Structure 1
Amino acid sequence: MPTFNNSYSRMVAWLKVILPLVALGLLSTMFLISKSIDPTKSLTYAQVDLDAVMREQKISGPSFSSVTKDGAAITFSAESARPEEGKNRYSANGMVARIETPDGAVVDINAQDAMIDGSASQIDLTGGVTLVTSTKYTIHTPGLTTSMDATNIASYGPVTARGPLGEISAGQARISQQSGNSGTYLLVFKGGVKLVYDPPAEGEN
């Protein structure tokens, strides 16, 4: 075995032995760590992400139309909708509706939010609702309920309206078919009705 005359040569000789052993130890540690990873944990996280996606599923731009049992044509559309818990229930944003009755009247409805209950054939509109009728009434209310199979619209909050007679405030407004007179529809204000009469100027219709 060769001999070394100085400490530098001895250090180099030792490093030639120690460094490969250190490298081998590091490689062994890396392999041991990689084997300790539980692949089922990755699958668990992936499942959680999938569940979140399923909960956030949306229908973009849904719309539908039908004819009610009293003969009115009704159409609904929304910016987006998503299924809710329960059978045939959906929440929607940016709801727009139009109801055209057999006597020629038209009601356009805009609402921020809606809950559509297909089983009950009912839509609850909330978040601020505006109705514009062909009889020149513009009505504002916090929310209302409308049927999908009959012409029956009722606010469940106070309303303010502007129409041919002037400014109207009331506890509720309802649009429905007149009882015993098929084909005739009425807009009724009730519950503390207040009218500020503003007659049209001469020459206005």
Structure 2
Amino acid sequence: MARRPIRPAADNPYSVFVSWSKIVLPLIALGLLSTLFLFTRREEPVSVPVAELEEIAREQRLANPSYAGVATDGSAIAIAAEEISPDGEERFAILRPRAQIDAADGTGMRISAGAGTLDVPGNSAELRGLARLVTTNGYAMETEGVTADLASGRVESTGRLAVRAPFGELEAGRMAYGGTDAGKLIFSEGVRLLYDPPDDAAAPADPAPQTAAPEEE
């Protein structure tokens, strides 16, 4: 004959407590979890496919990394990227990096590029793949790449630049910004300038026409 399962006695306080705990505790957990979601900041839902999660774990890459610090010249430096992954020992490859440098004098520079490398021991970064640079005082530049010393705040181009300035267009073989020359742009190595004054610049006054004195009769 089959044995009937033993049920806890209704008058046993411990058994009643255990039975109710199996129901109440999961409900409490669900309530806490719901509260967590209710009080977090509402953002657009993010859906990451399982295959992408496996790829991230396998390749040891991280999405949307960011770095911020202060250079010795007082400049605030911030670097962000869409993705970062190891590239050898203490070096990291960064995808579509963006850099922002705010000098102590109030000027600044924004840099974007297609790719780059972050050197941790050297405290430096290299941005390459058509780097675009824009300054707060009206300069827009394009070059093949730039290097940034994160300790001193100095930025240098790695090739020739095409520059659109407030006063015209220029080309240069080299550009340096920040560091000991905080907030200053320095162009060198074959600088060529096409001067284009602003349209609202005041035109010089024409000299008064000279007339011959009438002959005396």
Q: Partners of 1:192 and 1:121 in 2: how far apart?
A: 30
Q: How big is the shift at 1:203? A: 6.3
AA in 2 matched with 1:126? R
2:200 is equivalent to residue 202 of structure 1: yes
- Which residue in 1 is equivalent to 2:72? 69
Judge conservation of contact 1:178–1:185 (CA < 8 Å) in 2: no
**Any idea what the Cα deviations from partners look like across 1:90-134, whole Å, max 9, x if unmatched?**
001010110001000110000100100010011011111000001
2:128 is equivalent to residue 116 of structure 1: no
Q: Partners of 2:84 and 2:180 in 1: how far apart?
A: 33
Query: Moved runs in structure 1, 4+ residues, more than 4 A?
Result: 52-55
Identical pairs, percent: 32
The alignment's C-alpha RMSD in Å is 1.8
Q: Partners of 2:70 and 2:153 in 1: how far apart?
A: 10
**Which protein is bigger by CA-based radius of gyration?**
1
Q: How big is the shift at 1:185? A: 2.7
2:142 is equivalent to residue 144 of structure 1: no
- Which residue in 1 is equivalent to 2:191? 193
- Among 99, 102, 107, which residue is 2:101 paired with? 99
2:156 is equivalent to residue 154 of structure 1: yes
SS of the residue 2:67 aligns to: strand
**Any idea what the Cα deviations from partners look like across 1:121-169, whole Å, max 9, x if unmatched?**
1101111100000110001000110011112100010001001121010
Tell me how many residue pairs correspond in the alignment: 148
Q: How big is the shift at 1:176? A: 2.3
AA in 1 matched with 2:168? G
TM-score (norm 1): 0.68
Higher helix share: 1
Q: Partners of 2:107 and 2:120 in 1: how far apart?
A: 25
Consecutive unaligned residues of structure 1, counting only runs of 5 or more, are: 1-51
Judge conservation of contact 2:108–2:183 (CA < 8 Å) in 1: no
- Which residue in 2 is equivalent to 1:7? none
AA in 1 matched with 2:75? A
Judge conservation of contact 1:61–1:80 (CA < 8 Å) in 2: yes
Consecutive unaligned residues of structure 2, counting only runs of 5 or more, are: 1-54, 203-217
Q: How big is the shift at 1:55? A: 5.8
Q: Partners of 2:178 and 2:109 in 1: how far apart?
A: 11
